[in-house]
Amino acid sequence: MTELRSRPLVRLDAAPDPGTDAEAWTARHRAEIRELAAGHGAVLVRGLDLDGRDRAAAVVAGVLGEGLVEREGFAPRDPFPAPGVYSSSHWPADQPMCMHHEMSYAARAPRLLAFACVTPPTSGGVTALADARLVLEDLPAALVERFERHGWRLTRHYNPFVGIGWQDAFGSTDRAEVDGYCAANGIETHWDSDGALRTVQTRPAVLAHPDTGERCWFNQIAFLNEWTMAPEVREFLIAEFGPEGLPFNTFHGDGTPLDAAAVDSINEVYERHTVREPWQRGDLLVVDNVRTAHSREPYRGEREIVVGLGEPFRP
């Protein structure tokens, strides 16, 4: 095991004998991999022979445990046969996916994530990490207190022109089924006359880790806020759909808007605690999704990462 810079990432070198099957090696070391992820927040296994997406998907499924079928996604993914195993999100290569905790807006979220690198990008494209405990400690106390008191609010506007459609996000073309899912998961719905769907949900911003009880900053407040968008994208969307028609936006839990300074403050704290390790072919990254936030940085060239969402829990 090798320390990489600082928390929350350690490296486990697989170094299997020539011809060793990656699935078999991962199965033998599954308990160790999961223990390292639990103890350090994330572990990078380097040296596996992942010779294609099917092999990578099998390795991811083997390490995950119970897979979580994604609902309420923000970008399309291609599913693999194993539950909870997908391609990475189809998000523009030149646009970052800022620090967040996967599905922290949902009533059921994954406790464990796994990423397997089939094809590393020519440059960039790092899945960076940040310790949610340290982020929480470093954020302004007044900001944290307000979010702990009220939670955070997410609004979404599913329309046929931008982002993912509600049919893909909820895995159904039946409005009644979508309404039932939302009612069961604390999501308010409103259907526009043109068939667009608007939703509102309020979730906790700070979470006690299910195993250790440690307080973690667990949300997507900054990533999904209008002030994190590229200015030209934000201006275009507001011009097209109006301030209330943005595909997504975040607020204080009482509905009060966030200003740009607050969002910038959150992103600056994330940056101070960010750990980066460039992808290599065959890398397997396993992440504790509560203790550790992750991002995806812009990149050039082809990039193929198989992603697993596992161990569902209710935040």
Sequence-ordered list of residues with C-beta below 8 angstroms from that of 44, at least 6 positions apart, any chain:
4, 9, 10, 11, 12, 277, 283, 284, 285
Same domain, yes or no: 224 and 288: no
| d(C-alpha 10, C-alpha 2), whole Å | 6
174-183 contacts at long range (C-beta below 8 A, 24 or more positions apart): 181/71
pTM over 0.85: yes
Residue 100 lies in a domain: no
Cross-sheet strand order for the sheet of 10-13: 2-3, 10-13, 42-46, 284-288, 109-119, 304-313, 85-87
Backbone angles phi, psi at 64, to 5 degrees: -75, -45
Which pLDDT score, from 0 to 100, does residue 191 have?
Answer: 96
Residue 182 lies in a domain: yes
Same domain, yes or no: 20 and 45: yes
Which pLDDT score, from 0 to 100, does residue 194 have?
Answer: 86
Sequence-ordered list of residues with C-beta below 8 angstroms from that of 46, at least 6 positions apart, any chain:
11, 12, 13, 14, 280, 282, 283
Residue 98 lies in a domain: no
Degrees, nearest 5: CA angle 236-249-257? 105
CATH of the domain at 28: 3.60.130.10
| d(C-alpha 254, C-alpha 298), whole Å | 33
Radius of gyration of the chain (CA): 19
Which pLDDT score, from 0 to 100, does residue 16 have?
Answer: 59
Residue 208 lies in a domain: yes
Which pLDDT score, from 0 to 100, does residue 5 have?
Answer: 44
The SS3 of residue 271 is: helix
Residue 99 lies in a domain: no
| d(C-alpha 301, C-alpha 252), whole Å | 38
Same domain, yes or no: 72 and 142: no
Same domain, yes or no: 9 and 49: yes
| d(C-alpha 136, C-alpha 206), whole Å | 8
Same domain, yes or no: 141 and 260: yes
Same domain, yes or no: 114 and 201: no
Domain span at 9: 2-92+107-123+277-313
Residue 17 lies in a domain: yes
Residue 231 lies in a domain: yes
Residue 308 lies in a domain: yes
State the total domains in the chain.
2
Sequence-ordered list of residues with C-beta below 8 angstroms from that of 145, at least 6 positions apart, any chain:
none
Same domain, yes or no: 235 and 308: no
Which pLDDT score, from 0 to 100, does residue 241 have?
Answer: 83
Same domain, yes or no: 8 and 113: yes
pLDDT per residue, tens digit, the chain (315 aa), is 444 444 556 777 766 555 578 999 999 999 999 999 999 999 999 989 888 999 999 999 999 999 999 999 988 899 999 999 999 988 889 989 999 999 999 999 999 999 999 999 999 999 999 999 999 999 999 999 999 999 999 999 997 677 789 999 999 999 999 999 999 999 999 999 888 999 999 999 999 999 999 999 999 999 999 999 888 888 988 888 888 889 999 999 999 999 999 999 999 999 999 999 999 999 999 999 999 999 999 999 999 999 999 999 999
Same domain, yes or no: 246 and 281: no
Same domain, yes or no: 114 and 181: no
Which pLDDT score, from 0 to 100, does residue 255 have?
Answer: 97
Which pLDDT score, from 0 to 100, does residue 19 have?
Answer: 57
Same domain, yes or no: 8 and 27: yes
Same domain, yes or no: 146 and 253: yes
